[in-house]
Amino acid sequence: MYDTPAVGTPYPIGELLPAVLQEDDLAMRLTAGLDRVIAPAIAALDCLDAYLDPRLAPVDFLHWLAEWVGAAVDEHWPVERRRAAVSQAVSLHTARGTVAGLRTHLEMLTGTRVEIVESGGVTWSQSPDTAVDMGPANLVVFVDADSTVGHGELDEIVAAAKPAGVAHRVELRD
């Protein structure tokens, strides 16, 4: 059992009792004991909005928040990177599979400038019988060498975030 003497309650049960019971020493000690037991739960509920805000949530709560919003977060990342990943998860999901979404995701994770060169892959014609000669779709991701994320981890992140049929290559540059 956890003892939390420093956590007080803004709603002491004894003060809610009728005046007759407030004069009873045993009743007041009993309700004070209950106050001490439920004070942490009341404090957590009073601060629930802070628990649900990734900028304010306790560090041990971030992983749970990340699961709620579908953010891939590594526990070895610095805390600020994890907070940013959870904060931007919803907007990143809406842009998932696009070059802009991939760039934003990688810049957030690496803290550096990211450039993406893609092969394209969209063409059109006014005639339905026009032969289209398109090579396979691919992209090259250039990340500044001073990134805090290693090459192997970058490769895994790009592989998870890009469309499945698109080949990719990650290059670090000075």
Residue 81 placed within a domain: no
Residue 150 lies in a domain: yes
Q: What is the pTM of this model?
A: 0.62
Domain with 145 in it: what CATH number? 3.30.300
Residue 16 DSSP symbol: G
**Helices 59-69 and 79-87, axial angle in degrees (round to 10):** 30
Q: What share of the chain has pLDDT > 90, as a percent?
A: 30
Pairing status of strand 167-173 against strand 138-144 = parallel
Residue 68 lies in a domain: no
- Give per-residue pLDDT as tens, 58-77: 998 899 999 999 888 888 88
How many domains in the chain? 2
